[in-house]
Amino acid sequence: MRYDVLLVGSGFGSLTAAALLAKRGLKVCVLEQAKYPGGCASSFKRKGYWFETGATTLVGLDEDMPLRYLLDATGITVPVQQLEPSMQVHLAGGEVLTRYKSLERWIAEAERVFGKHNQRPFWEHCYKVSQAVWRTSLQQRSFPFSNLKDLLLSAAHVRPAQLRLLRGAFRTMQDVLLQYDLHTNQVFVDFVNEQLLITAQNHLEEVNELFGATALCYTLYSNYYVPGGLINLVKPVVDYITRKGGDIKYGQQVQRISRMEGGYQVSTGKGSFESRFVISGVPLNNTLELFEEAATRRRLKRHILPSAHLNGAFTMGLVLQGQKPPAVLHHQVHVPGGLPVIGSKSIFISFSHPEDRLRAPAGELVASISTHVQHPQQNHIQDKAVIEEAIVDALAQQGLIQREHIKLQQSATPGAWIFWTGRAYGAVGGYPQFRHIKPWQMKDARLDHQGAYLCGDTVYPGQGIVGVCLSGIIAVEKLLQDHF
């Protein structure tokens, strides 16, 4: 069967694009190598419990945010429970701070922990930048530019507030801390670095102000829990696509994308499919290997980041029986001296909601744990047990878990991510932000300037469910702009 658009992978960027295209009446087909949709924004079932595959937090439903745009455009509804507060951070010195949604409450909390010196102007500034960034993200859907029409359309949508953001592309978060004389407050610097790592995949000397301020402020927007796990964020989108006449085909690992007369041929281990257009929702490193055309490969190569610049993840899943449910579901725990073998300096743990009977029965909780592994291609983990023990010990010291309540324990290295998702090197979290790569230098949605496009966490704007959702919106915008 010939389709209008074939989409490679069912990550949330691909699903966003597929839903918006299906709404326009195009015949779409999503090819997914796994048996579950959603990629890194999904859940998997093991021994009767639902664990999160990768992402565990959900933002983006507020006004001017991409996920809100998707749901409003399609009428899709997602079952969510708002979390307040969304997170607590356990610092290396033993202090625990709560990331409140209210800016005033958060500033008071930051002043309590880090001291009053310039916390208020710093956070007010970051929040103002983040609001402007979110507004601009949907106003400028032709960004980054890769042809003259992009530039003209972007110019037509320019607002004075957008021009004021330009300076932030040339400043790092380190510059912002210097501006507010916070760079010598080491406890605060460590806090900022570890918060940036889970949102921008890099530290303050590399992350520009636009991404950094937005990343640091994500807890100041509505955060949500999805009963049953993030698979239930994905399922309503999949259902919408199929109701609109689209197809989702599982167990279809794409091996090659070839140009043909009038479109593309996409080959998998089980056969081949034809379409007028194609959208890759897998990372740039994987996408490069799929295209045969030399010009497309050359165009992509200059945007590719090697494993040395990427992060993998060491993940754990716990089932806790008889443990008192935590008041806050998401926690970041700083680890003095770092974890053994991998050196990571923080751990992120997310608990299932105590009333969520879809993920675990009454009296039990599921905990999803992750920590960074730098240069995943090089850092092969031979002994998982020593890392597992250090993580459990760190979480137990903070009172987040008790060993005697652990009913089930499992862990996975970046090698497992290669097996689960097929992502090159087992890299997760997307391409990190780097100061030498300005937003307009990031890879845009066009692959070959003919009919192939790209979305996901390795192209603009980058990480997180909300980021890949925006990338899917932009891919659709450019496809329609080019051909309709």
Of 410, 426, 442, the one marking the end of a domain is: 426
User: Cα torsion for 410, 414, 420, 424, to the nearest 10°?
Assistant: 180
Q: Kindly state whether residue 71 falls inside one of the protein's structural domains.
A: yes
Q: Kindly state whether residue 200 falls inside one of the protein's structural domains.
A: yes
Per-residue model confidence (pLDDT) at position 312: 93
- Angle subtended at Cα 30 by Cα 24 and Cα 32, rounded to the nearest 5 degrees: 160
CB atoms within 10 A of CB 61: 21
pLDDT in tens, 342-379: 999 999 999 999 999 999 999 999 999 999 999 999 98
pLDDT in tens, 392-440: 999 999 999 999 999 999 999 988 888 878 899 999 999 999 999 999 9
Residues 350, 298, single domain; the answer is no
Per-residue model confidence (pLDDT) at position 77: 96
Per-residue model confidence (pLDDT) at position 74: 98
Q: Kindly state whether residue 456 falls inside one of the protein's structural domains.
A: yes
User: 123 lies in which domain range?
Assistant: 101-221
Q: Kindly state whether residue 93 falls inside one of the protein's structural domains.
A: no
Per-residue model confidence (pLDDT) at position 452: 97
CA dist., res. 101 & res. 122, Å (int): 16
Residues of the chain with pLDDT under 70: none
- Assess contact for 51 and 230: CB atoms under 8 A: no
Of 426, 442, 471, the one marking the end of a domain is: 426
Of 401, 426, 451, the one marking the end of a domain is: 426
Residues 237, 299, single domain; the answer is yes
Residues 277, 203, single domain; the answer is no
Residues 188, 286, single domain; the answer is no
Tell me which residue has tokens 């090089």. Answer: 378
The amino acid present at 47, given as its one-letter code, is K
Residues 121, 196, single domain; the answer is yes
Residues 197, 241, single domain; the answer is no
CA dist., res. 252 & res. 10, Å (int): 11
CA dist., res. 322 & res. 430, Å (int): 36
CA dist., res. 157 & res. 254, Å (int): 37
HEC assignment per residue over the chain? CEEEEEEECCEHHHHHHHHHHHHCCCCEEEEECCCCCECCCCEEEECCEEEECCCCCECCCCCCCHHHHHHHHHCCCCCCEEECCCEEEECCCCCEEEECCCHHHHHHHHHHHHCCCCHHHHHHHHHHHHHHHHHHHHHCCCCCCCCHHHHHHHHHCCCHHHHHHHHHHCCEHHHHHHHCCCCCCHHHHHHHHHHHHHHCCCCCCCCEHHHHHHHHCHHHCCEEECCCCCHHHHHHHHHHHHHCCCEEEECCCEEEEEEECCEEEEEECCEEEEEEEEEECCCHHHHHHHECCHHHHHHHHCCCCCHHHCEEEEEEEEEEECCCCCCCCEEEEECCCCCCCCCCCEEEEEECCCCCCCCCCCCEEEEEEEEEEECCCCCCCCCHHHHHHHHHHHHHHCCCCCHHHEEEEEEECHHHHHHHHCCHHHCCCCCCCCCCCCHHHCCCCECCCCCEEECCCCCCCCCHHHHHHHHHHHHHHHHHHHHC
Residues 256, 213, single domain; the answer is no
CA dist., res. 244 & res. 247, Å (int): 9
Q: Kindly state whether residue 12 falls inside one of the protein's structural domains.
A: yes
- Assess contact for 97 and 87: CB atoms under 8 A: no
Residues 406, 443, single domain; the answer is no
Q: Kindly state whether residue 88 falls inside one of the protein's structural domains.
A: no
User: In total, how many domains does the chain have?
Assistant: 3
What phi and psi, each to the nearest 5 degrees, are found at residue 215?
A: -65, -45
Per-residue model confidence (pLDDT) at position 418: 85
Residues 28, 54, single domain; the answer is yes
Per-residue model confidence (pLDDT) at position 226: 96
**CA end-to-end span of the chain:** 22
Q: For residue 11, give the CATH number of its domain.
A: 3.50.50.60
Residues 238, 275, single domain; the answer is yes
Q: For residue 408, give the CATH number of its domain.
A: 3.30.70
Per-residue model confidence (pLDDT) at position 235: 97
Q: Kindly state whether residue 251 falls inside one of the protein's structural domains.
A: yes
Residues 471, 329, single domain; the answer is no
CA dist., res. 37 & res. 19, Å (int): 14
342-364 core/surface letters (b: 16 or more CB in 10 A; e: else): bebbbbbbbbbbbebebbbeeeb
Q: Kindly state whether residue 256 falls inside one of the protein's structural domains.
A: yes
Per-residue model confidence (pLDDT) at position 347: 97
Predicted TM-score (pTM) of the model is: 0.96
Residues 138, 215, single domain; the answer is yes
Q: Tell me the C-alpha to C-alpha distance, in Å, between residue 158 and each of 139, 145, 171, 443.
A: 8, 14, 21, 21
